[in-house]
């Protein structure tokens, strides 16, 4: 990553997105951030209008894009609208990926890193119907299916859908054939404002630290940022369609022989 490049990061105002933007800038790269506030492009990825604003805003600042990291997301907390969660976590993320594909292709060697989650393999009982509805590409239908469950269940389903989409599309001619690598990271519990909110959740807070880790601590946003930076780099040139677990060993502890079926 010695050559200066241009990257876009959504959710760049906080958490993993902010840590990723800071790291990439520290490496000498240009980073265009997208968020609801405190970003280069201010846009609401839950709406079609906001997604258009985001894509056009990034495009205006980066006609060539060497990498994209859609970090913006909504947590599955008590009282959160599961329809909103699906719209942001899945459809908002992929609107950026699809919308900025021409800029990625123009780089002649770009990478996309999606944010999945170890909740896909470590949280039991999430509704596959939500993931299936997302993958069908009909947002209205997906929102209707998500409305039948709680946000805590919709969250891993939305992250599974991203992983499924990634596996399907990464090997397609329109992506890797055009020089764009698609991969994902699946973080576990990471110490961010989002997990602080989880601990304050009146229903789910007791589960915040229930999952075991081999390290005995939550991850740090900077640790996930380092992994993302690697996946964006030429050093990861052989990785296509990979979902890399970064959870301190939680998935390995709970699923010792193999990751649970995604």
d(CA 78, CA 115): 21
Give me 145's structure tokens. Answer: 């299916």
Tokens representing 110? 């770009």
Catalytic residue positions, numbered: 155
216 in the Ramachandran plot: left (φ > 0), alpha (ψ -120 to 50) or beta? left
SS3 at position 112: strand
Q: Quick check: 156 and 163 in contact, CB under 8 A? A: no
CB 229 within 8 A of CB 27: yes
Distance CA 182, CA 168 (A): 10
**How many of the other CB atoms lie within 10 Å of CB of 108?**
11
**Dmax (CA) of the chain:** 49
């Amino acid at each position: 990553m010695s050559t200066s490049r241009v990257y876009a990061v959504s959710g760049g105002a906080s958490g993993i997105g902010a840590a990723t933007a800071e790291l990439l800038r520290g490496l000498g790269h240009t980073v265009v951030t997208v968020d609801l506030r405190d970003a280069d492009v201010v846009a609401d990825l839950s709406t079609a209008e906001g997604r258009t604003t985001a894509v056009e805003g990034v495009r205006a600042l980066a006609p060539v894009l060497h990498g994209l990291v859609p970090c913006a997301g909504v947590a599955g907390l008590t009282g959160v609208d599961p329809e909103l969660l699906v719209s942001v976590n899945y459809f908002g993320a992929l609107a950026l990926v699809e919308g900025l594909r021409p800029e990625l292709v123009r780089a002649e060697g770009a990478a996309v890193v999606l944010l999945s989650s170890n909740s896909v393999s470590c949280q039991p009982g999430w509704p596959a119907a939500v993931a299936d509805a997302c993958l069908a590409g009909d947002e209205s239908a997906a929102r209707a299916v998500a409305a039948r469950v709680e946000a805590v269940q919709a969250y891993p389903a939305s992250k599974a859908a991203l992983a499924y989409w990634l596996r399907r599309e990464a090997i397609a001619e329109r992506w890797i054939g055009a020089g764009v690598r698609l991969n994902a990271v699946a973080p576990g519990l990471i110490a961010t404002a989002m997990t602080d909110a989880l601990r304050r959740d009146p229903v789910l807070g007791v589960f915040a630290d229930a999952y075991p880790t081999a390290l005995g601590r939550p991850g740090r946003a900077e640790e996930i940022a380092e992994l993302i930076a690697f996946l964006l780099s030429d050093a990861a040139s052989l990785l296509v369609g990979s979902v890399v677990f970064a959870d301190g060993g939680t998935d390995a502890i709970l699923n010792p022989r193999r990751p649970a079926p995604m």
